């Protein structure tokens, strides 16, 4: 199978595992926004945010090393056992210590809430390590099955506990924890990863090798967290928890771009790593960069066009002021997706330090804009901070990657497409019917023009599969 065919196949398989968890988020969004108060929903969102912050710090991102190192030794069971055992023992030990400290330090919530959050945190770490191991071993289908199991459990528990039983905030936390438990159970015991874990296979020298790769990803993850989540903390600080709830609800639709990007990025990291030693890698990386840009930009245009209808469908309650933020956040997520594509090339060449440096700079830009302008223009500052920092990250990485892997880039095309999207963002600020209709039609047109090659490729593969 060609590299493009393998990449498309892996993307399709991983899309199943990425789409359903996001679907669970969208299914539960009306339930949570309808059944929880703004303060409760804002707190629920902050729990997820804080767990995503502390996970890379506690684990030193060693789970990222699982994926990259296992790719190179899939046929060597002894080395696979050593890598997986070392990672699990190291990360789980640190996570247990961290949760004990957290439980006694955090005094603002009840014992039940603290216990649930601690269990959720540990399960999230184990689930993340297990997912990276499965991907490193090339078992992408099992990765997707685990995600399906977690999504089904989360949706079911949210409906039963929050909607029907009225357990509110506690019910939402139980749904989160139950989802991670389902993922962990399947990955450890349903896929056979558990047989790779043994204290006897842990190696100090191997741990040093793994950490030398993974630790630079900690500032990268923390900085990425700053760009994604510090906005919400600063919004809460300057404007209150209710305003954070509005911003969190507005961010759900732009996450559809992140959904497409994250699915592709997982498959792309594997493809880029396997291609790093090929003679035609420059041509391949350049071609894929153009395809990814066209697809994400076309998808962004389509989402901007239909976001008023999506927002009305998915969000319940008094969150209408968040609609104006959605087009800005969609374009910002486009830039993030493109920077993640370049990040896949960094991973392929083991340039994790460069990943961290570029993200730190972008995070500083994000925080400066937030601190300066949130008191002046409110939610618009947070949205623009994300857009500007992600744009910087993409452009900086495109220039920086040329130092070790040259790529041919069509700058004129990027500028024209971005200007069209900016015009659509401006139209998206209008609340009248005619501008919204014009935006919807323009979004469909841009999508069809930019994504025609990708759609044609997918159609060809589908027809070939049906005939075969």
Give the domain extent around 382.
Answer: 241-468
Q: The tokens of 110 are what?
A: 């009840």
In a domain, 220, yes or no: no
Distance of CA 178 to the CA centre of its chain: 20
**pLDDT tier at 3, thresholds 50, 70, 90:** low
Q: Do residue 278 and residue 312 come from a single domain?
A: yes
Whether residue 273 contacts residue 348, with contact meaning beta carbons closer than 8 Å, is answered with yes
Q: How far, CA to CA in Å, does 277 sit from each of 204, 205, 345, 373?
A: 29, 26, 12, 46
Query: How many domains are there within the chain?
Result: 2
Give yes or no: residues 148 and 267 share one domain.
no
Q: Is residue 397 part of a domain?
A: yes
Q: Let me know whether 197 and 344 are in one domain.
A: no
Task: Give just the sign of the alpha carbon dihedral 100, 104, 108, 110.
Answer: positive
Percent of the chain, pLDDT > 90? 15
| Separation of alpha carbons 30 and 319, rounded Å | 11
pTM comes to: 0.73
- Considering the domain architecture, whether residues 452 and 391 belong to the same structural domain is answered as yes
Same domain, 366 and 400: yes
The answer on 174 and 262 residing in a single domain is no
Q: CA 303, CA 421: separation in Å to the nearest integer? A: 11
The stretches of 315-432 forming alpha helices (DSSP H) are: 326-348, 352-377, 379-400, 411-428
The answer as to whether 235 is a domain residue is no
Of 184 and 313, the one with more pLDDT: 184
Q: What is the pLDDT of residues 206-264, one digit of tens each?
A: 888 888 888 877 777 777 777 776 788 888 888 888 888 888 888 878 877 776 677 77
- For position 8, what pLDDT does the model report? 67
Structural tokens at position 309: 């209808």
317: left (phi over 0), alpha (psi -120 to 50) or beta: left
In terms of phi and psi (left: phi > 0; alpha: psi -120 to 50; beta: otherwise), the region of 284 is alpha
My answer on whether 135 and 266 are in the same domain is no
Q: What is the pLDDT of residues 360-416, one digit of tens each?
A: 888 899 999 999 999 999 899 999 999 999 999 999 998 888 888 888 888 899 999
Considering the domain boundaries, does residue 229 fall inside one? no
- Residue 236 domain flag: no
**d(C-alpha 133, C-alpha 77), whole Å:** 13
162, 33 in Cβ contact below 8 A? no
CB 385 within 8 A of CB 333: no
Question: How far apart, in whole angstroms, are the C-alpha atoms of residue 52 and residue 66?
Answer: 19
Considering the domain architecture, whether residues 435 and 350 belong to the same structural domain is answered as yes
Whether 456 is in a domain gets the answer: yes
Q: Do 461 and 366 share a structural domain? A: yes
Residue-level pLDDT at 269: 75
Q: 433 lies in a domain? A: yes
- Is 202 found in the same domain as 245? no
Do 293 and 190 share a structural domain?
Answer: no
Q: What is the mean pLDDT of residues 146-153?
A: 86
Whether residues 245 and 208 share a domain: the answer is no
In a domain? residue 21: yes
């Amino acid at each position: 199978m060609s590299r493009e065919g393998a990449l498309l196949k892996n993307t399709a398989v991983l899309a199943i595992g990425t789409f359903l968890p996001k679907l669970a988020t969208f299914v539960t969004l009306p339930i949570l926004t309808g059944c929880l108060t703004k303060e409760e929903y804002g707190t629920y969102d902050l729990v997820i945010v804080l767990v995503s912050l502390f996970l890379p710090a506690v684990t030193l991102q060693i789970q990222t090393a699982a994926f990259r190192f296992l790719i190179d030794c899939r046929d060597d069971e002894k080395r696979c056992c050593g890598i997986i055992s070392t990672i699990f023992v190291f990360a789980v030990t640190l996570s247990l210590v961290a949760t004990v400290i957290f439980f006694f330090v955090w005094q603002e919530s009840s014992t039940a809430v603290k216990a649930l959050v601690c269990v959720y945190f540990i399960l999230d770490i184990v689930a993340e390590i297990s997912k990276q191991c499965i991907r490193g071993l090339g078992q992408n289908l099992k990765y997707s099955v685990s995600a399906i199991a977690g999504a089904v459990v989360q949706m079911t528990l949210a409906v039963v506990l929050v909607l029907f039983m009225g357990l509110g905030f506690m019910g939402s936390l139980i749904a989160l924890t139950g989802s991670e438990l389902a993922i962990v159970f399947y990955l450890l015991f349903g896929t056979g990863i558990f047989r790779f874990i043994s204290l006897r296979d842990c190696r100090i020298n191997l741990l040093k090798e793994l950490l030398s790769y993974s630790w630079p990803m900690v500032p990268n993850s923390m900085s990425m967290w700053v760009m994604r989540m510090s906005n919400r903390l600063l919004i809460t600080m300057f404007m209150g928890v209710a305003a954070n709830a509005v911003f969190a609800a507005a961010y759900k639709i732009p996450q559809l771009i992140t959904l497409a990007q994250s699915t592709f990025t997982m498959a792309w990291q594997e493809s880029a790593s396997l291609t790093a030693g090929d003679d035609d890698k420059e041509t391949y990386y350049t071609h894929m960069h153009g395809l990814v840009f066209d697809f994400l930009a076309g998808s962004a245009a389509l989402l901007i066009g239909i976001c008023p209808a999506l927002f009305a469908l998915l969000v319940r309650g008094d969150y209408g002021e968040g609609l104006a933020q959605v087009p800005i956040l969609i374009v910002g997520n486009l830039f993030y997706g493109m920077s993640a594509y370049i990040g896949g090339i960094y991973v392929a060449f083991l340039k994790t330090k460069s990943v961290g440096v570029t993200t730190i700079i972008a995070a500083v830009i994000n925080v400066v804009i937030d601190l300066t302008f949130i008191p002046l223009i409110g939610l618009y500052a947070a949205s623009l901070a994300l857009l500007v920092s992600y744009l910087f990250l993409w452009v900086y990485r495109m220039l920086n990657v040329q130092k070790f892997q040259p790529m041919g880039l069509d700058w004129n095309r990027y500028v024209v497409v971005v200007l069209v999207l900016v015009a659509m963002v401006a139209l998206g600020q209008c609340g009248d019917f005619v501008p919204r209709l014009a935006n919807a039609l323009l979004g469909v047109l841009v999508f069809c023009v930019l994504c025609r090659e990708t759609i044609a490729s997918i159609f060809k593969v589908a027809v070939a599969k049906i005939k075969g």
